[in-house]
Amino acid sequence: MSYRIAKNLDSALEALKEKDPATRIVAGATDLFLQEMPARLVDVSSIEELTAIEEIDNRLVIGAAATHARAAASELIKGRAAALVEACLQVGSPQVRNIGTLGGNVVNAAPAADAAVALVALGAKAVLVDSSGVWREEAVARLYSSYNCSALDGCTELLVRFLIEPCGQGEGSAFRRFAARKALALPLANAAARLKLENGMIASLSLVAAPVGPAPTRLIGTEAAILGKPAGEETWLLAAETAAEEVEVRGSLLRCSAAYRRHLVGILTADALRAAARRAAVSQSGSLT
C-alpha cells in the first residue's frame, strides 16, 4: 500500500492523473478504513485550500477537508449557517469529529450523513476539480448517484470546497437528529431547515430530511404546504404532519421501524423549523446568533 500526503492541490491532482481505479482520495479515513483499503491513497487533509474556513465576497467558503470539530467551533459558520454547526457537533464522538471531514461526509454518500443533510438544506454548492484541472460547481444534493454511492469519481475528482450563501437578515437555519444514544450512533432520522421570514411569514424555505432517499432529500410537499404561512406553532404542526406523510422511508432491524422513522421525520422537521425561525427572528431584530 502506498500513502501519499499531498502538500498542495497540484500534487494531489498529479497523483490522480493516472486515473488508476486502485487510487483513492482520503481525508480523515473514518469512513474509508471501514471498507477494503485501496492500494494507493492520496491524503488531502493537509492541503491549505481544502482546510480553510473563510468568508469571501459575502459567501461562506468551507474547505472540503475541514474537520467536523473545526466547523463546529467556527464562529463564522455559527453566525451564518448555524445548521451546519449543529450537525457537525453531533457527528460520532470527539475522536471522529477531530479527524472526519465535511468532504468525506458528503462523498461517502451515506443517506443520513449529518453534515451533508445540513449542507443540502443550506443550499451549499460543491466546488470540484478533476485530475486534468477542469473545475466545476455542483449542488451538494446532486453529488449522489444511488444508495451509498457518490456521483463523484473518487479516483479522479477532488472536492475542494463548499460555498454557502450565508443567512442574512431575517434568515435562519437549524439541524435536528434523533439517535439511539447520545454519541457514536448514526441517526434514526435527521432534518435541517433554512428559512427566511418577512413580516412574520415564511418567505422562502428549504427543508431536508434523511434517511428518506439515497441523498439528503428536500421535502418539496412540506415546503409548498407552509410557504407563505406565518411562523408559528400551527404551521410547525402542519409541517410535521405533511413531512411524515410525504416521505418514503424504510425500516430496519438495527435502527427502527418505518412507521416510527416517518413519525420522527415529522417531529424533527418541526423542531428544525421552530429553531430556524427563532434564529431568523433574532437576526431580524439585529443581533446574529
Partner 1 sequence: MPTGIVESPVKIDPRVAFQSPEVWAKVTGKAIYGGDLMLPGMLYGRILRSPHPHARIKKIDIKQASGLAGVRAVLTGSSIVQKPYGIVIDDELPLAEAVVRYIGDEVAAVAAVSYEQAAEAARLIRVEYEELPAVFDPAEALKKGAPQLHAKFPGNIAWERHLERGNCDQAFREADIVVENTFTVPPIHSTYLEPTVCLAVSDPYNGLILHTAVQSPDQVRTIVARVLDLPLSKVRVIGPVMGGGFGGRVYGNLKLYIIASLLAIRTGRPIKMQLTREEEFLVGRPLIGAELKLRMAVRSDGTILAREADIITDNGAYSAQAPWVSKTLSERNDSVYQFKAIKTKVRLVYTNKVPTGQYRAYGNQAANFATESLLDMAAAKLGFDPLEIRLKNCVRAGDVTVHGLQLKSCALADCLKAAAAEIGWHNRKEGRGYGISAAIHSSGSVVFDKNFRGAAALARLELDGRVSIFSGEQDYGQGAHATFTLIAARALGIPAELITIHTRDTLASPFSIGALGMRQTTIGGNAIRLAAEQLREKIVQTAADMVNEPVIFEGGSVKSASGQVIELPAIAFRYYSLTSGLTLVGEGKYVPAESAYDKSGYGNIAVTYSFAAHAAEVEVDKLTGEIIVHRIVAAHDSGRIINHLAALGQVYGGVTQGLGMSCFEGYLFEGGRVANASLADYRIPTSLDVPAIVPLFIEQDDPEGPYGAKGLGEIVQIPVLGAIANAIADTAGVRVTDLPITAEKVFLALSGWECEA
Ligand X SMILES: Cc1cc2nc3c(=O)[nH]c(=O)nc-3n(C[C@H](O)[C@H](O)[C@H](O)COP(=O)(O)OP(=O)(O)OC[C@H]3O[C@@H](n4cnc5c(N)ncnc54)[C@H](O)[C@@H]3O)c2cc1C
**Which residues sit at the interface with ligand X, rule CB under 6 A?**
24-32, 44, 64-65, 91-92, 96, 100-101, 103-105, 107-108, 113-114, 152, 154, 158-159, 184, 186
Measured CA to CA, the distance from residue 26 to residue 45 in angstroms comes to 8
Q: Which is nearer to ligand X, 126 or 225 (CB)?
A: 126
Minimum CB distance to ligand X, residue 139 (Å): 16
Chosen residue from 128, 191, 264, 277 binding partner 1 by CB under 8 A: 264
Q: Is 22 in the site for partner 1 (CB under 8 A)?
A: no
Q: What burial letters (b/e) apply to 182-208, b meaning 16+ CB within 10 Å?
A: eeeebbbbbbbbbbbbeeeebbebbbb
Q: Is 98 in the site for partner 1 (CB under 8 A)?
A: no
Q: Is 238 in the site for partner 1 (CB under 8 A)?
A: no
Among ligand X, partner 1, none, residue 26 binds (CB under 5-8 Å by kind): ligand X
Q: Which is nearer to ligand X, 82 or 226 (CB)?
A: 82
Among partner 1, ligand X, none, residue 11 binds (CB under 5-8 Å by kind): none
Minimum CB distance to ligand X, residue 246 (Å): 23
Starting from the edge strand earliest in sequence, which strands make up the sheet with 157-164, in order?
A: 53-56, 59-63, 157-164, 125-130, 135-139
Minimum CB distance to partner 1, residue 182 (Å): 4
Chosen residue from 39, 149, 224, 258 binding partner 1 by CB under 8 A: 258
Q: Which is nearer to partner 1, 159 or 264 (CB)?
A: 264
- Residue keyed to cell 463548499: 162
Q: What burial letters (b/e) apply to 210-221, b meaning 16+ CB within 10 Å?
A: bbbbbbbbbbee
- List the grid coordinates of 154: 473518487
Q: Among residues 86, 130, 121, which one has the least CA distance to residue 212?
A: 121
Q: Among residues 199, 187, 185, which one has the least CA distance to residue 271?
A: 187
Instruction: Specify the DSSP element, H or E, that contains 204.
Output: strand 201-210
